[in-house]
Amino acid sequence: MTQTHSTAQASSARQRVHRQIEVLNLQSNVLDLTTTGFTVLPGILSNATIEQAKQAILQRVEKKTGKCIDSASATRDDFAGMTYLAYLLYDDPVFEEILLAEKPLALMTYLLGESCLLSSLGCHFKGPGSEGELPLHSDNGNGMPSPYPSYAQVANINYALTPYSLANGALALVPGSHHWARAPRAGETALTGADANPAAVAMDIEPGDAVVWHGNTWHGSYPRTAPGIRMNIAVYMCRQYVQTQESHVGDIPDAAARRQANDERFNVLLGAKQPYGWREEGPDYDVMARNPRGLYD
């Protein structure tokens, strides 16, 4: 591929991505991402989608623990602290719908490019108890050395399925921390107690709202003190050259593959343009020719 072709490919991608931001009226959200490192999108999921996702998650919890949890009134005796429920995408078609939600996906594309991959889709299932605190961290801290680049290598969407507040164990973020290009140091990670980081803010949001953040941004979550369960959907994505947390290439169940056979974006998110991982057959040069050439393709 010539240099001219590569430049044109990157330029076209940039135009497409920015046009989509304009069409969806997300300019203020892009400004939020640039200045504070995160943005809130209210009312992304319908009530029906929320309920379907919650029921699928509760079924997974019952399968995992043998307990039927009342998400409205659960106590520590029913479910204490937090557990992460991984690899939810194929538990119910509703998670495919959530993955492809237009506005959050447009912002992820702005941050990570059109070739970005789904790294993982799961739920932080949280009942009452101090052990439910998730200390502040940067997802770049998983093997990426500091200083981090200013552009995102990974990014997150966090969908609230239940109300978020401090007492309910809300998501916490540190505004502007994406500019610091490093992970929190010892003494900067706590959200409670005498050493609690005063820069952290709790996300007071409603079911169906989504928070999108740059991968450099420090985040965590407060412990839940109120009865009941806090549920979310955490959609974590990465640039094409970053190792995904979950494996999807060659592992998509037949039913999901049939449902999404004509959705190119779904298949790219699950690795259709990922050229690596070959065996003795060697590389597919046609796929490699589609590698990204800039920040947006």
Q: How far is CA 121 from CA 89, 98, 131, 282, in A?
A: 6, 10, 22, 30
Q: What pLDDT tens digit does each residue of the chain (297 aa) get?
A: 455 556 777 789 999 999 999 999 999 999 999 999 999 999 999 999 999 999 999 999 999 989 899 999 999 999 999 999 999 999 999 999 999 999 999 999 999 999 999 999 999 999 999 888 999 999 986 778 899 999 999 999 999 999 999 999 999 999 999 999 999 999 999 999 999 999 999 999 999 999 999 999 999 999 999 999 999 999 999 999 999 999 998 889 999 999 999 999 999 999 988 888 889 999 999 888 888 888 999
Secondary element (H or E) of residue 67: none
For the domain with range 3-288, which CATH number is right: 2.60.120.620, 3.90.1150.10, 1.10.10.60, 3.30.465.10?
2.60.120.620
- The answer to whether the CB of 161 falls within 8 A of the CB of 231 is yes
CB-based contacts of 47-50 (< 8 A; 24+ apart in sequence): 47/207, 47/208, 49/94, 49/97, 49/98, 49/208, 50/161, 50/207, 50/208
Q: Residue 67's pLDDT is what?
A: 87
Q: Residue 255's pLDDT is what?
A: 95
Q: Residue 5's pLDDT is what?
A: 59
Q: Residue 141's pLDDT is what?
A: 67
Q: Residue 2's pLDDT is what?
A: 53
Q: How far apart, in Å, do the first and last CA atoms of the chain sit?
A: 15
Other beta carbons within 10 angstroms of residue 283's beta carbon come to 11
Q: Residue 1's pLDDT is what?
A: 46
Q: Which of 131, 143, 212 is CA-nearest to residue 183?
A: 143
